[in-house]
Amino acid sequence: MDALILQVLNGLDKGSAYALIALGLTLIFGTLGVVNFAHGALFMIGAFCAVTVQRLLSLSFVTVDETQKDFLGKPLKVETPYVEAWFGPEVGAAIIDWSVPLAIIFAIPIMLAVGFIMERGLIKHFYKREHADQILVTFGLAIVLQELVKHYYGANPIPTPAPDAFKGSFDFGALIGFDPNTIIYPYWRLVYFAFSAVIIAGVFSFLRFTTFGMVVRAGMADRETVGLLGINIDRRFTIMFGIAAAVAGLAGVMYTPINSPNYHMGMDFLVLSFVVVVVGGMGSLPGAVLAGFLLGILESFASFSPIKNFFENWLFLPSIDQIIIYLVAIVILLTRPRGLMGRKGVMEE
């Protein structure tokens, strides 16, 4: 039982990342009708905002220490971060330690700006073009962004740990009435789940309860009529693009302590997030979120060894974890023509 609950937690955690990326992707589909292959790259840029903040905070000056030697036998160059020099070693180290949460503040304006620039500078010209052209241009953009990051940060993953306060794990089982030490879960993964729940709730309430959101939703349903009413829908759509970019970026920032970021992490998530969006149904925000969590949980259970063994021994399907997502996608799309909650006529041609 406790093992199953652990897998549910794992699934929710994986699902949070899928859901956040898929949410942004659907916002862009739904509002602008653009197939954005660069969305994975936005997730990656978010993650590298965290890396950048960590680097900025650890900017150091160099002093030569004659007593120590470096690998060539020369006097060692000791690097002391400026923040440690300014605020004292204790406070300075604590600031660096908190670089991932601090990166959130930094990432929001950056991601909004990236989103605005992308939309105004490039995507805007592709509204009326065919989806094929949108794919090619955004895929090209994704490669360019990825290569730029690779150029500055290298291809190797970069460790960006969570603050010390959130390291280690927490006895989740004891909290919900299990024996102690049966369900232990890392703090930061719980933080990630809570964070994504807040973001998802935020986006939904923004669209539901604000006038701005209502106009956007109306625009998603019928762009021309809203335009005829004299509302500048384009500007609002630009803002929505920025928000979608920020959602992807924040998902990336918060993801860095879970897995060290590298320059191609966006591509790793790109295909999966498209599957999530489509399984959820084109044009449906709740569908994207639902599908994200569903696929996350199914993936976790498929990689759980008793279930894996069951599939191998009884259904002759070894390594079900390799294919589960795609298998589920096929089954859902064949039984529900427009995914879980898709709207009629969106991207069906």
Count of Cβ atoms closer than 10 Å to residue 80 Cβ: 14
**DSSP conformational letter for 343:** P
Beta-bridge partner residues of 77: 64
80 binds another protein (CB under 8 A): no
Cβ density class 117-150: b for 16+ within 10 Å, e for less: ebbeeebeebeeeeeeebeebbbebbeebbeebe
Nearer to another protein, 171 or 213 (CB): 171
Query: Mask of contacts with another protein, 22-41, x by CB under 8 A?
Result: -------------x------
Please give the residues from 86 up to 125 whose contact with another protein meets the rule CB under 8 A.
122, 125
Residue 60 C-beta: closest distance to another protein, Å: 12
Q: Which residue from 56, 58, 80, 268 is in contact with another protein, where contact means CB under 8 A?
A: 268
Residue type, 203: V
Nearer to another protein, 147 or 222 (CB): 147
Q: Which residue from 87, 163, 182, 239 is in contact with another protein, where contact means CB under 8 A?
A: 182
Question: Applying CB under 8 A, which part among 81-89, 204-212, 234-242, 341-349 lies near another protein?
Answer: 341-349
Tokens at 347, concatenated: 């991207």
Q: Judging by DSSP bridges, how do beta strands 169-171 and 75-81 pair with one another?
A: unpaired
Q: How far apart are the C-alpha atoms of 84 and 175, rounded to whole Å?
A: 38
53 binds another protein (CB under 8 A): no
Question: Applying CB under 8 A, which part among 54-62, 102-110, 155-163, 204-212 lies near another protein?
Answer: 155-163
Q: Which residue from 188, 237, 241, 293 is in contact with another protein, where contact means CB under 8 A?
A: 188
64 binds another protein (CB under 8 A): no
Nearer to another protein, 234 or 268 (CB): 268
60 binds another protein (CB under 8 A): no
Please give the residues from 197 up to 256 whose contact with another protein meets the rule CB under 8 A.
none
Residue 267 C-beta: closest distance to another protein, Å: 8
Radius of gyration of the chain measured on its C-alpha atoms: 23
75 binds another protein (CB under 8 A): no
164 binds another protein (CB under 8 A): no
Tokens at 69, concatenated: 């030697």
Residue type, 198: V
Question: CB neighbours of 280 closer than 8 A, spacing ≥ 6?
Answer: 22, 26, 286, 287, 288, 289, 290, 291, 292, 339, 340, 341, 342
Tokens at 317, concatenated: 């399907």
Residue 249 C-beta: closest distance to another protein, Å: 18
